[in-house]
Structure 1
Amino acid sequence: MSGLTIEQKNEIVLARSEARPTLRPTVSALEEWMHRAIPVLDHGFVRLVDYMGDDSAIVQAARVSYGRGTKTLTEDEGLIRYLMRHRHSTPFEMCEIKVHCKMPIFVARQWIRHRTANVNEASARYSIMDKEFYIPESAQLAVQSTANRQGRGEVLDPQQAEDVQHLLLRDAEQNYRSYEWMLNEDEHGLPLDRSRPGLARELARMNLTLNTYTQWYWKVDLHNLLGFLSLRADSHAQYEIRVYADVLLDLVKTWVPMTHRAFLDYRLGAVTLSAQMVQVVHRKMLGEKVTQADSGLSKREWSDFKAAMQLTD
């Protein structure tokens, strides 16, 4: 995986060689994450650049106190679980992270729909896009699902998968050659033909394929990060964004372990029931036999309810 440029690698070496004393709370386990690029997909990565706060910051904000460790760890975790269970948000907003991420453009366009962070993306108006493209592994190439309009079905057979990979790479490389021709510059910024001018970068970029890699700095508070993870770390999320979410979920586990445990229990591993679904649960607990026809639920709701509760009838 190339992923990082030489300049970025040198920046990381320099950052990791400089020790900075601080009076603010730090998380020793998370310090090991700092300035390390965690590989994702074939050319992507997630790199922790900075963070603020920890589990104690959440507790402190909730109690509006001035000190740390004023209660036992058991009481602190109980409070965090209460806040998560009852969907309090502002205490979790006291913690923030900033990450440097590299991902395919189509993943970035999904990601940016979470309009709750500060983002600064590499601009193809000012710089030349890297000649790097996401080519899915064979196991990720599948037909359209017949049950889910947004999902995948059966995996393609090996020959079909190889054909798709070849087509994706061929088109991406052809479009990049056209991009270079329009710019009249190669991927290193060197001129191709001094006898003609190049097209403006802001125009030449428009024919790049969506599997071209982009990158950004993404700063988000913990509350909104958990909102992102509740959707993108879910098993129904698209694989190509879920793998980034999985890395961020591991980061949360290291950073705020109490919050991570509460998040798994009350958000990621939990289900939401409608008022009608709760009534069905009550009736079943009383021994009634409830069917979809007399449940007050639509067929789709009944199917979702059965799946969530792992019911067979």
Structure 2
Amino acid sequence: MKISEHSKVFSHPLERQLMIVKKINIFEDLERTPVGAVEYVDHMGEDITIVNAARVSFGKHKEAIDDKDLKLINYLVKHKHTSVFEHNTITFRFTVPLYIRSQHMRHRTWSYNEISRRYTDYDIKFYEPNAFRTQHKSNRQASNEHELVNPKLFGSTAADIITAHHSTTLNMYNLLIEAGVCKEQARGILPQNMYTQYYGTVNLNNLLKFIELRLHEGAQLEIQRVALACLRIALELWPTTIKAYMNIKGLDDIFTKDSKEICS
């Protein structure tokens, strides 16, 4: 996706809302069926909201963006005048493995609400990677995304072992539920790569901070996919601001990279 495709200035928020990418699939199961995703739910504010927040010091208000406003937004992004971006907010719905959820929720400026396995035992699914990365040689917390393996252990591949583990733990969970064990205890045997779902709401300033941190090459590949999907949706909503951010951060070609690097 090229940035220039999103250069249209919309005259009314509803016009843009009809054009928004509603859902971006970021993980697949072993049969290539999409499971994990980032979904658009709602947002508040437009590019012009940022302009008006910046110009309110002079008692000015505008209804549409012009060339002067484009320069203003570039200036605000470049010089990190961040408060003006906090009037724009967005709500996403995330479907990701538990351990990716944990990384995301380290960003405490977001507001979260998550599915609870105390209440439901419905639709339990697991993240099963299509490829396995090796451990990074020098970075203890990172992997080597350019070196893939699928080792055999006791005659089975890593993928087979993970699939068998999922089947076994899910069967054990269902047996516990059927035997009368409460959901809040039975859930304790479910593994970390079980999918969870949650809402996440954040203002634009803190969304950009999240994207910058989680698109860093040292971030786990799976959380990079989450951040990239958020960026793609934000670009639909606030094209002027996000293009300015991407240009300043050197991310102009981020959506044209090899899909194996960041996107599934």
Q: Same fold (TM over 0.5)?
A: yes
1:39 aligns with 2:31: no
- Report the structure number with the largest CA radius of gyration: 1
Residue 58 (structure 1) aligns with: 50
Question: Counterpart of 1:253?
Answer: 235
Give, in whole Å, the separation in 2 of the partners of 1:89 and 1:200. Answer: 47
Shift of 1:214: 0.4
Using CA pairs under 8 Å that are at least 6 residues apart, name the structure with larger relative contact order, 1 or 2: 2
Equivalence for 2:256:
none
Structure 1's 133 and 49: CA in aligned 2 closer, same or farther, altered over 3 A?
A: same
CA distance in 2, matches of 1:263, 1:231: 14
Q: TM-score if structure 1 supplies the norm length?
A: 0.68
Q: Give the AA of the match of 2:68.
A: E
Cα deviation 1:57-104 (Å, max 9, x = unaligned): 00101111453247x622111111111112112110111111111111
**Deviations 1:219-238 (CA, angstroms, capped at 9, x unpaired):** 11111111110011233321
Is the strand fraction higher in 1 or 2? 2
Matched residues in 2 for 1:255 and 1:130: separation?
A: 31
| Alpha-carbon separation, structure 2, partners of 1:142 and 1:116 | 31
CA contact (8 A) 1:125 1:201 kept: yes
Give the letter aligned to residue 206 of structure 2. N
| 1:145 and 2:139 correspond | no
Instruction: Give the drift of 1:265.
Output: 3.0
**How far has the Cα of 1:37 moved from its partner?**
2.9
Aligned position for 1:163 = 157
Q: Which runs of 4+ in 1 moved over 6 A?
A: none
Question: Deviation at 1:268?
Answer: 5.7
1:263 and 1:134 map into 2 onto residues whose CA distance is 32
Query: Of 176, 179, 184, which residue of structure 2 is paired with 1:202?
Result: 184
CA contact (8 A) 1:25 1:54 kept: no
Which whole-Å deviations, capped at 9, do the CAs of 1:123-182 have from their partners, x for residues lacking one?
Answer: 1111115321111112xx121111211221252345559711111111122111111112
Q: Letter of the aligned partner of 2:44 in structure 1?
A: M
Distance change in 2, residues 1:106/1:98 (3 Å): same
Letter in 2 for 1:264: M
The equivalent residue for 2:69 is: 76
State the alpha-carbon separation in 1 of the partners of residues 119 and 168 from structure 2: 22
Between the aligned residues of both structures, percent identity stands at 31
Structure 1 residue 25 displacement after superposition: 5.0
In structure 2, the residue corresponding to 1:119 is in which secondary structure?
strand
- Please say if residues 92 and 201 of structure 2, whose CA atoms lie closer than 8 Å, have aligned partners that are also in contact: yes
Structure 2 unaligned segments of length 5 or more: list them. 1-10, 29-34, 253-264
Counterpart contact for 1:175–1:208, Cα < 8 Å: yes
Question: Structure 2 length as normaliser, TM-score?
Answer: 0.80
